[in-house]
Amino acid sequence: MLADVVKNDYLRDMDRYPLKHGESGETTNRETGKCNTFNYRFKKIGPDEKDRLYGEAYPIYLVQHHTVAKFERTVDIFTQEKSTVSAHYVIDTNGSVYRFVSDLYRAYHESVF
């Protein structure tokens, strides 16, 4: 099973560093050395899409990106306090899979570096 091989070294401990509904990880109760660049997934409801159910949406796509940075630099970028970018999973060149953001949350994909 994938869950048995995924490493959670950089996954934020949501029991110790929780988010309230609507909060973003990078602005609220950061955990040092972990990926904090994410927020709640939400499902839009209503015709104006203003009402939102936080934590009720599920991923429907798998997007694979290639980074030009080596694994160590990618970790550094994703765990910096000023970071505005993250990913749910990173696969190292040796095949190791690391989780940075739980599937329950939305990872940020905008970079200012």
Domain regions of the chain by residue span: 1-113
Cα→Cα distances 65→22, 87, 91, Å:
27, 9, 10
Six-digit token string for 50 = 């203003």
Reported as a single tens digit per residue, the pLDDT across 53-91 is 666 777 777 888 888 889 999 999 999 988 888 999 999
The confidence band for 3, taking pLDDT boundaries of 50, 70 and 90, is low
- pLDDT for residue 62: 81
Nearest to 51 by CA among 28, 14, 21: 21
95 contacts 6 by C-beta, under 8 angstroms? no
What is this structure's pTM? 0.80
Six-digit token string for 77 = 């970028």
- For residues 54-87, one letter each, b for 16 or more C-beta atoms within 10 angstroms of the residue's C-beta and e for the rest, the string is eeeeeeeeeeeeeeeeeeeebbebbbeeebebbb
